[in-house]
Amino acid sequence: MFQKITLIALIITFVSCQKKETVEKDKIKKADWLIGNWENISPDGVLTENWEKVNDSTFSAASYFIKGKDTIHSENIVLAQLGETLTYKATVKGQNNDKPVSFPSISESDKQLVFENPKHDYPQKITYTKGANNTLTAEITGKLNGKQTTERFIMTKK
């Protein structure tokens, strides 16, 4: 009898662990459309984001804003499934002692990802929206110097 109960407990544990792993992988799969090289060319310069899949629960990106020959802004991003939360971690050179700032997701779908950290100085919210014709819009919003600010970048897949 003890052996049967132990076997049933092991099977239940195995099945429940399998389901949790599937939930994790399914959540980050909603962001698969980010993978690739994205670019926005404007009179102010060139913004690029290069996203790649690291493993089944993690994506990474390098983001650069270049004007002429100068790199105005660079950022490393990790998008990871942590438990049941999709988290966007941004590390900006020269900010926050070069340590990552986490933005947990507040909404994710096949066409939009929304991350928020109300305690961060700026931005407090980051949104990626999948557009038509291989485009995506990256939007950062929040209070900057006491004023509500939104910056929008429409990028094309290269």
Place of tokens 């995506």: 136
Note the maximum CA span of the chain. 76
d(CA 128, CA 153): 10
**15: pLDDT strictly greater than 60:** no
pLDDT of residue 38: 98
CATH number at residue 101: 2.40.128
Is there a contact between 47 and 65 (Cβ–Cβ < 8 Å)? yes
Higher pLDDT among residues 52 and 94, named by residue: 52
% of the chain beyond a pLDDT of 70: 84
Q: What is the pLDDT of residues 123-134, one digit of tens each?
A: 999 999 999 999
Whole-model pTM? 0.83
Contact residues for 156 (Cβ-Cβ < 8 A; gap 6+): 38, 39, 40, 133, 134, 135
What local confidence, expressed as pLDDT, does residue 25 receive?
60
Residues of the domain holding 152:
2-157
26-55 pLDDT per residue, tens: 789 999 999 999 999 999 999 999 999 999
Per the structure, the count of domains in the chain is: 1
